[in-house]
């Protein structure tokens, strides 16, 4: 999988830009606020049809402009490269349009997974430090790129839970609980919930080993990380779970149990990582999660995803930074995009590497 060319118009703080990328390492250097992260997000947008940061499409459009446009040339190992065009507008009924080789995607979800991608930013430490929602989003973001059926289940589950919660709230306001009306939603919800739980459980069984291997490589086997899948469905099924929580749901006016409460617990040397981990250990663990996600997608899809690493060297020491670059350089990680404020650090770590590299320098605007 290669992104050979990207054209940008009015995307975030990029007026117009044109990039011809290298086949392996692509380093984007420059000071803060110059658009390095926004370039990675433009690549992510071309790959998935949405911003990595989950904000409204309106935020993708440069300030005081009416549209944003991306054009990407992608080599997926076919006879010829494919052209992806995405337009985002503030006006009109079709605010976002995605075309691949001239054919329009009817839904954004149809494009998700077309170009597999793994993106890391410093804010991803929230996978350890914040609530379970962030960890579920991470799992679903990776799994959905490899499994379109899982993506459809996640979308359907979200809609059904929202509708069920609206009904529960309405019934509480009316003071007249209608269990038959609720059962109509449960009949649709139960099989979707069971499928999501099974898919996540099977995913984490194999994913845990990949995370352990990546973390061990980054730390020279000095520490051991482990993962545990926590779910309301671990000891039951969806039908029994909803039935046993019926009264709780009634009084809370929301669905109090289900796969929307699932969590991924991370431990370091047998202790909860969020309780005992240093900044360096937390960031190293999050990097390991993303490298494991990369390997999962590569194994599942049979091709190398794009790997986007934003400000990857913040809060990790020189040794771990060097180990990371050596690992992804020698282990056939495919095309990699890395941002950094310190170009000399890149030169220092890459001085002995024979890997192909290309550097893009973002300079401050002239005054």
pLDDT of residue 161: 97
Domains 1-116+307-367 and 122-302 share a fold: no
69 CB neighbour count, 10 Å cutoff: 16
The pTM assigned to this predicted structure is: 0.92
Rounded CA-CA distance 180/177 in Å is: 9
pLDDT of residue 331: 64
* Beta-strand relationship, 263-268 and 271-272: antiparallel
Rounded CA-CA distance 157/160 in Å is: 5
pLDDT of residue 76: 85
Q: Are 66 and 1 in contact (CB under 8 A)?
A: no
Q: Which portions of the chain are predicted below pLDDT 70?
A: 92-94, 315, 331, 365-367
Q: Are 225 and 199 in contact (CB under 8 A)?
A: no
Rounded CA-CA distance 95/87 in Å is: 8
Per-residue tokens: 64: 């005081």
Rounded CA-CA distance 167/174 in Å is: 10
pLDDT of residue 80: 80
CATH level 3 topology of 1-116+307-367: Rossmann fold (3.40.50)
In CATH, 122-302 is 3.30.70.20: no
> Domain spans of the chain?
1-116+307-367, 122-302
Phi first, then psi: give them for residue 285, nearest 5 degrees: -65, -40
**In a 3-state reduction of DSSP, which class is residue 61?**
strand
- Quick: pLDDT tens for 54-70: 778 888 999 888 999 99
- Quick: pLDDT tens for 103-138: 989 888 999 989 999 999 989 999 999 999 999 999
Burial class of 221 by CB neighbour count within 10 A (0 to 12, 13 to 18, 19+): exposed
Q: Cα 117–265–191 angle (5° rounding)?
A: 75
pLDDT of residue 345: 83
Per-residue tokens: 311: 């400000």
Q: Are 9 and 339 in contact (CB under 8 A)?
A: no
Cβ-proximal residues to 334 (8 Å cutoff; 6+ apart), any chain: 1, 2, 24, 298, 303, 304, 305, 306, 307
Per-residue tokens: 51: 């911003």
């Amino acid at each position: 999988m290669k992104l050979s060319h990207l054209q940008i118009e009015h995307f975030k703080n990029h007026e117009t830009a044109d990039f011809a990328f290298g086949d392996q390492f692509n380093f984007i250097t420059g000071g803060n606020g110059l658009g390095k992260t926004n370039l990675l997000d433009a690549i992510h947008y071309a790959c998935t049809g949405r911003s990595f940061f989950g904000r409204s499409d309106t935020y993708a459009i440069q300030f005081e402009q009416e549209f944003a446009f991306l054009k990407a040339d992608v080599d997926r190992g076919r006879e010829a490269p494919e052209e992806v065009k995405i337009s985002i507008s503030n006006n009109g009924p079709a605010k976002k349009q995605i075309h691949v080789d001239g054919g329009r995607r009817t839904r954004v979800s149809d494009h998700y997974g077309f170009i597999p991608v793994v993106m890391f930013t410093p804010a991803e430490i929230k996978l350890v430090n914040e609530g379970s929602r962030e960890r579920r989003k991470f799992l679903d973001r990776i799994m959905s790129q490899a499994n379109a059926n899982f993506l459809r289940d996640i979308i359907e589950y979200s809609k059904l839970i929202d509708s069920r919660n609206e009904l529960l709230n309405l019934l509480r306001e009316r003071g007249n609980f209608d269990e038959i009306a609720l059962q109509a939603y449960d009949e649709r919800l139960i099989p979707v919930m069971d499928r999501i739980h099974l898919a996540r459980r099977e995913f984490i069984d194999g994913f845990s080993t990949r995370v352990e291997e990546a973390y061990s490589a980054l730390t020279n086997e000095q520490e051991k990380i482990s993962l545990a899948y926590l779910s309301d469905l671990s000891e039951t099924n969806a039908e029994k779970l909803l039935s046993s929580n019926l009264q709780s749901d009634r009084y809370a006016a929301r669905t109090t149990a289900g796969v929307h409460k699932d969590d991924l617990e991370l431990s370091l040397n047998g202790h909860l990582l969020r309780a005992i981990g240093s900044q360096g250990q937390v960031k190293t663990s999050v990097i390991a999660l993303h490298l494991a996600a990369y390997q999962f997608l590569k194994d599942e899809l049979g091709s190398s995803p794009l790997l986007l690493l934003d400000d990857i060297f913040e809060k990790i020491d020189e040794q771990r930074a060097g180990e990371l670059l050596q690992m992804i350089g020698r282990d056939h990680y495919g095309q990699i995009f890395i941002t950094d404020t310190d170009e000399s650090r890149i030169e220092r770590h890459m001085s002995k590497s024979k890997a192909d590299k290309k550097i893009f320098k973002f300079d401050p605007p002239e005054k």
